[in-house]
A and B are shown apart, each in its own frame.
Chain A
Amino acid sequence: MSPERRTAWAFLAPSLVLIAIFRIAPLIWGAQLSLTDARGITPGAFIGLENYRELAFDPAFRDSISNTILLIATLPVWVCFPLLLAILIHQGVPGGRFYRATYFFPAILSSVIVGSIFNTLLRRDGAVNAALKLVGIAPTDWLGSSHTALLSLIAVQLWATFGMSLLIFLAGLSTVPQDMIEAARLDGARLRHLVWFIIIPALRPIIEFVAVVTTIGILTSMFGLIYVLTAGGPGTSTTLPEFLIWLELGKLNRPGYAAAISMVLFALMAGLAWAQIRIMQRNADV
């Protein structure tokens, strides 16, 4: 084996062992569970793809998938908003250091605190409606109406977590060679040209990373806010697969069925991530 290969495997080995034991093996175990009718604490018998067939006809699951599609459609905002702020801070907007310090704070606090603030702000008689009334807009029950609940939830989660993507972008921006930027500046390039032709191409792997990680994040870590803000309702309008898994596991005691939902969620995320990576790499080759 060449030294390059030897080094590579030696460097990867500890990580691969940990991931195989604690992540991959349980996944295979979970896939097995999804083929059983496990209920409560009984292990359950093998029932083939019955759980998946049931899923196809489960209205709550179908609603959760259409909610997911809407959620995914907002992905560009999740990536562009922190990217834009990171570039502005990187390019030395006045007060940039202060913004860099504060934008991360919502991410630090528990969803309980964030939730109880927005619960009250978004109420029918809350501050948001009071402000809208001043400009003549009729009040809306943001979290209680099927039309606005999911979008409100998305907005709150975006606000609460954009600081993390911002931080990653800032780290990525530090790899953009400063002399290139300076040279372009001297040639009289405007900021948007700078962003489009130098910063974004140099940042491509990081943008891809943030897009993939954000996709996974919004599909697997919104439980805290859903639980506090809407509890999946009204109806099923804010029920996401992740919440459904919790419901089936913790409340309805059906681990087999919950495992089947998890497998679908896993496949969905893998598909999305694959598509994102393909799109980005194609763009890069052009």
Chain B
Amino acid sequence: MPLLHVKDLSIILSTNDGPARAVRHLDFHLDAGETLGIVGESGCGKSMTALALMGLLPEMSRTEGQILLDGEDLLQKTEDEMCRVRGNRLAMIFQEPMTSLNPVHTIGHQIMEPLRLHLGLSESDARAETLRLLDRVGIPNPTARIDNYPHQLSGGQRQRVMIAIALSCKPDILIADEPTTALDVTIQDQILELIQTLVQEEGMALVLISHDLGVISENTDNILVMYGGAAVEIGQTERIFDDLVHPYTQGLFAAMPKLGRARNARLITIPGTVPDLIHMPTGCTFTDRCPLASDICRNTPPPVVEVKAGHMVACHHVQEARHRKTEELFS
């Protein structure tokens, strides 16, 4: 049995303009110690999926399907029960290290909170553990830093504090939602390296969410590409990059400026913009921007085709998508 199994998950948000399907029929699983990357653009449902895992969805939302952690459905749990799971078995690192720490409490206080709540440590034990954690995440001089407020730390250091909080109860699964988007490349490098090391040493599973194919490529075993709330391609990271199949994945890869490419070649663009979730076709979510789209795409959800062992693509036109060059596809 996998550690985490997301089965046919749908998230529907009620908005003033009607229901928005933020996530539709998502299926994936995660084994202990595995690293999974979720990649996609804004509005693709990657953050909503993370919030659903943590039981932190906004109130105006409805879920369908199951999220099984060790066979127990998290969606059926009460808030009290979720409080014992959250931070304890599942922990999350948020995108904005500037706003996700409480500015009126010292960082020590914030790291001690889960330790006292979940592990029931005494004040002095929690403080000792906090010092160890700060050292572990690479904050220099923990004894001085423990009484600092968030504004006294740099962006990279704040993200390290967030990681320390997430690690404090030795969770089984660490969810990192765009952990480095607000940081410089050099700091991003340090933080990703730290997450990698910690995940390996503690044997945690990692769900890394990013819009950056480069970050995902270098830090994950498996990858899940989402568009408009649906999974479009899933498989082993290395294999997927050898053979991008879904037209969206191909377009996304081609649209990304890459170092060392001839600069005279134009970037390939995917026409149109990221769609809004209310007026999405009932079939394939990529229909409106897809060069291969036909009538069937708009109204019938695409079948999931296994193109190679473990490499699944949700597309009506897999063969065509596979055997055409990206340049042709989007010209």
A is bound by B: no
